[in-house]
Every structure is written in C-alpha cells, then in structure tokens.
Amino acid sequence: MRGSIPSPGPETSRYGGNTPCVEVRIGEELVLFDLGTGVREFGQAAPRPVEGAIFLSHYHYDHLQGLPFFGPIFDPRSRFVIRGPTRDGRTVKDVIAGQMQQPFFPVTAEMVFRAHLEYEPFAAGDRAHVGQGVITAIETHHPGGNLAYRIECRGRSIVYATDTEHGTARDAQLVEFARGADVFIYDAMYTEDEYLGRSGSPRIGWGHSTLETAVKVADDADVGTLVLFHHEPTRTDDAMDELVKTAKRLRKNTIAAKEGLVLKL
C-alpha cells in the first residue's frame, strides 16, 4: 500500500491510502507484517478475540502508526507475539512503548493495552515457526535498518521486502533471499526518472526503490508474482494504472498492491 504518510481521498480510493500492513494466513494461523494505518481496518473487521504473530520490518512511523488504533490490542482476550529488530540498544518492546508517550500521545501503551502481549527480538538470520510455516529475515538497505521477511510453508513462499533501496551489495543478498518465491512484495515507490531526479528532485538516499529495479530483482530471483508495494503517497489511482501498465510491459506477472487484495497459494 502507501508509503510515508496516509493518503486518503477520491484519487487514491481504488489502490488505497493506508500505510503498510500485510496479513498472511498460514493455515489457521494469523501473521501481520507491519502496523501501519491499514491495521486499524483489519482490527475493525476481525472477529474477536484475535490471536496472531506480528513481525515489524522497522520502526519508521508509517509502519507503526496504526498500532494505537488497533482494536484487538485493547481486548484482554486477544493474544499477540510481536517480533522486531533491536536498534541502537532499544528492543521491540522499548520502541512500541516509546511511540506512545506524552507529549506526542495522550496515553501510554502500559495504560491501555489489555491483550496478552509477548515481545521477541528478531534479527537477520533468525527463524520463527508459526504453525507449519517458517519465517526468516535479512537486512536491507534503508536508513536506520530494515528487515525483509520470507515465509515458507508446504513448498510455497512469500517474500515481504518493503523499504529497501537498491545500489549496494545487499541487492545480491536480496535476490538470493527471494529466490523462487511464489509472491514477491517489493518496494517500488518511484520510477527511475523520479529516483534519479529527471522528474523533480532526486530521491537517491531516501531508502526506496523503483519499479524498474523491482522488475530486475524479480527476474533475477526467478519469482512468481511481483507485487509492487509502498506506493508514492501523491500518486493518484490513474497514475498507478499507468505505472502498472509500464511494469507489465517489462514483466507480465506483475501487479500492484491494493487494499483488500487477496492472493491464494
């Protein structure tokens, strides 16, 4: 979905304006990747109580800002295991607690969260078992760090690689990490012209990639479906349609993430 900031409105309603939250079901097991504003709508629709595993890619606000409005976390019957990287000596629990503090937020997590919560640090190379699935991670190139995740179950696989910028040695690592994945969700925030500054200011060093690079990485890794993700917040639905057309000319099996999109493996 959208990156950096929510972008609601009539010009973004078809692809959606919420920031990242991806739901994966491994059998009956629920896994959520990131807690952007999209998690609020998930929480509103989910039957209570909710039990699941949450994996955070990193802690930039667009990937956390839905958490204080995630209904199930206020329900004492709900249960979650929240995993994420330790950054600058701060664990995932530290970061979760730290984002809800005065003067930035009226109440703290300790005051209002009622669900049963477990926090587990997760780093590149770690493995987590969720039901019959196995989840692993690598670091990608992004300011402050970012984890890409791979989910494998019964011979099927999904890679979630948001917030990554190409142009370092980690490109080759990501290709191998994504090798043969059935679904590859990849940061394609910009076009090459936007990234290099041929159209507006250059975005080099901002921590995001391009649709052209997305296609190259998907081809190099021999993945199945490429899902363009972390859409530029000012890009309208009509502009997204044109971007998808361009991507499909480069790689037929390419789609763009939309709110409510369901892929079955």
What residues pair up with 190 in beta bridges, in sequence order?
Answer: 210
Phi-psi region of 42 (alpha: psi -120 to 50; beta: other; left: phi over 0): alpha
Each residue's pLDDT tens digit, 211-265: 999 999 999 999 999 999 999 999 999 999 999 999 999 999 999 999 999 999 9
Question: DSSP letter at 9?
Answer: S
What are the extents of the domains in the chain?
22-256
Instruction: Output Rg (C-alpha) for the chain, integer angstroms.
Output: 18
Contact by Cβ (8 Å): 208, 231: no
Q: Would you state the pLDDT for residue 105?
A: 87
pLDDT in tens, 197-208: 998 899 999 999
Quick: pLDDT tens for 44-88: 999 999 999 999 999 999 999 999 999 999 999 999 999 999 999
Q: Is the dihedral of CA 259, 91, 134, 208 positive or negative?
A: positive
Per-residue pLDDT at 50: 96
Contacts of 237 (CB under 8 A, 6+ apart): 11, 12, 13, 14, 15
- Residue 108 is predicted with a pLDDT of 87
Q: What is 22-256's CATH number, 3.30.390.30, 1.10.760.10, 3.60.15.10, 3.30.565.10?
A: 3.60.15.10
Please indicate, yes or no, whether the overall pTM of this predicted structure exceeds 0.85: yes
In this predicted model, what pLDDT tens digit does every residue of 109-129 receive, in sequence order? 888 999 999 999 999 999 999
Judge whether residue 100 has pLDDT over 90: no
Q: What is the mean pLDDT of the chain?
A: 95
What residue type is 156 in one-letter code?
A: R
